[in-house]
Amino acid sequence: MVRIRILGSGREVGRAAVAVEKDGRILLMDYGTNFDEEDRPVFPAHVRPRDLDALVITHSHLDHVGAAPSLYISMTPKVYATPVTFDVSRLLLYDMIKLNGPHLPYDEASVEDMLKAGESVGYYKEVEAGQFTFQFIYNGHIPGSAAVLVEADAHKILYTSDMNTVTTKLMEPARFSGVEADTVIVESTYGSSNHPPREETEKLFYESVEEVVRKGGTVLVPSFSVSRGQEIMSILAERDFSYPVWVDGMIRQVTELYLAHGEYVRDLKLLSKAASMFKMVRGWQDRRKAYKKPGVIIASAGMLKGGPSLYYLKKMAGSEKNAVFMVSYQADGTPGRQILETGTYGEEELPVRARVQWFDFSSHTNQQGILKALSSISGVERVILVHGDPENQEALKEKIEGTLNVEVLTPENNEVIELD
C-alpha cells in the first residue's frame, strides 16, 4: 500500500512537507518552515530520520527547506536537490540560524551534515532511492526549482511544489506536457485568482520607476533575495536604465550563485549585464550614498521586516519625491503590509509620504495556470491541493471538478491519503 501523508502545507501556505510512504519507508519531499506572530519558526509534523529512504528538496525557499537540517542532528539520510538549490539553501539556512538561532533545534553543523549527505541531480534523470524511483521535472518557479515525479509500485505521483507557467526574465514556463501521473499534488497559493499579464506588469513597473526618477526622486524596491531581486535587476538592465541602480543585501550573494550556475537561468547574458551595470553595495559608505541621488535601490528584505531595505525606508519615507515600490508578497503583520494598508510604518505609525505602489511579480502560477498544467498531464485520477489557504483551495477545487473528470482532495496537515 502506498500512502501520501501531508506533514505541512495542508490548507495553509508554506511549511511544505509531503511524505510518500511504502512498507514503512518514506520519500520525503521538502521540509520547510512557517513563522508565527512573533516571527519564530514553526515546523511541519515530525518524521523519523531513520524511516527516510531520501529527502528531496524542490528549491531553496525557507518554507520548503527551513526545517530540513533538523533531520540531520543524529542521522544523515540521503538528500537530493539541484546544485544551485544546495548552494542557495546553505546561504539562507545560515542566515536563518543568525536570525532565529535560539528557536531552532539545529545549528551550522547540522546544515553542513545535511549538505554532505547531498547528491546533486539535474532535470529528467531517474534516481533510485530505496523503495522509490524519482526524477526532477522543470517547474518554472525559481532557478534550480523542480517538481518531483515519484514512482512507487504501480503509482506515479507528481508533486509540483511551487510552480510558474509564464515566462519570466529568469525562468521558462513549467514543462509538464507529456508527463504521466495518476496523482498530482499541486500548489494552490493563487487558486482563486489570476495575475495580470507579466509583460504589462513589467512595463508599468519600468514606466513608474522612470517617472519618479526623472522628477528627482529615488525608488526603493524592497525585494526577496532569491529570484525576485534578480528579476527586477534584469527588467531594468533589459531596458538600459540610465540612472544609478544600487543592489544591497543578500540579493548580491544570490546573484553571484545564479551566475555561477548559469545553466539554471533562462537569460544568463541579461543577468550578467545587470550584475556588471549596477552598483553592489559593499558597506555603510555605499549605503549612505545610495539614497541621496535620483536612482533605484533594490534591497532585501522584501517585506521590510529587516535588512538594508528597512534602513533605506527610514531615510526615504518622509519625502514625496521618493517611492517605495513593492514587488514581493506582503504577509499579514509585516511592515510592508502595514505600509500598503495604512500608509504608515513601525509601532509609532510613522507616515510614509513617499509614493507607494505594489506590482504583481509573483513566481507562483495562478488559477488559469494550474488548470493548464493539470490538463497537460496524462492519466490524472486525483488531484491533491496543498500550499494554499482554505478559501483559495475551495475555489480551485470547484474549478478543477468543473473542468476535469478527477477527484480533488484538500487535506489537512497530518492527513493520510491511501492509494489503492
How high is the pLDDT of residue 333? 87
162-213 residue pLDDT tens:
999 999 999 999 999 999 999 999 999 999 999 999 999 999 999 999 999 9
DSSP tag of 166: S
Q: Name the DSSP letter for residue 415.
A: -
Q: How many CA atoms lie within 13 A of 359 on its CB side?
A: 26
First to last CA, the chain: 7
Per-residue model confidence as pLDDT tens digits over 25-56: 999 999 999 998 888 999 999 999 999 999 99
How far, in Å, CA of 103 to CA of 332, rounded? Answer: 21
Q: What is the pLDDT of residue 180?
A: 98
What's the DSSP call for residue 280?
E
Residue ranges and CATH numbers for the domains of the chain are 2-193+363-419 (3.60.15.10), 198-358 (3.40.50.10890)
pLDDT at residue 37 in the model = 84
H/E element holding 119?
Answer: strand 118-120
| HSE, side-chain direction, 13 A CA sphere, residue 228 | 25
Q: How high is the pLDDT of residue 226? A: 98
pLDDT < 50: residue spans in the chain = none
Q: Which residues pair with 407 in a beta bridge?
A: 382
Beta strands 132-138 and 146-152 are antiparallel
The whole model's pTM is what? 0.96
Q: Are 382 and 375 in contact (CB under 8 A)?
A: no
d(CA 177, CA 186): 15
Q: Measure the CA–CA gap between 174 and 146, rounded to whole angstroms.
A: 9
Is the link from the previous residue into 260 a cis peptide, with omega within 30 of 0?
no
Give the count of beta carbons closer than 10 Å to the beta carbon of residue 222: 31
- DSSP letter at 299 equals E
Report which residue type is found at 355: R
Contact 32, 14 (CB under 8 A): yes
DSSP letters along 169-238, please? Answer: SS-PPP--TT-B-SEEEEE-TTTT--PPPHHHHHHHHHHHHHHHHHTT-EEEEE--TTTHHHHHHHHHHH
Sheet of 79-81: strand order equals 118-120, 79-81, 52-56, 25-29, 17-22, 2-8, 416-419
Residue 333, C-alpha cell as written in the block:
503583520
Sequence-ordered alpha helix ranges (H) in 377-411: 390-403
